[in-house]
Amino acid sequence: MQKSVAAETGERDPAKVRGLISAVDKAAKRGIIHRNAARRRKARLTKSLQAPAATAAPAPTA
């Protein structure tokens, strides 16, 4: 799943992530995957979407 989110340029598309989260929710609802596994996957997808913004901030100097 995570590989399908990354575009060829390496950027992550929020619309694709929302679609994947919806698919994970549907799979959990139907019992295909466990609900805790669905939560974990959704958290990882969301975290991977937010990761580039967190790394763009400059590190504080002492």
Q: How many angstroms separate the CA atoms of 61 and 24, rounded?
A: 41
The predicted pLDDT at position 8 comes to 38
State whether residue 12 is helix, strand or coil: strand
- Spatial contact of 12 and 3, defined as CB atoms under 8 Å apart: no
The 10s digit of each residue's pLDDT in 3-23 is 554 543 356 788 898 999 999
Mean pLDDT value across residues 28-47: 95
Mean pLDDT of the chain: 79
Is residue 53 pLDDT above 90, yes or no? Answer: no
The predicted pLDDT at position 49 comes to 82
The predicted pLDDT at position 50 comes to 82
- Domains in the chain: boundaries: 2-55
Q: Note if the pTM is more than 0.85.
A: no
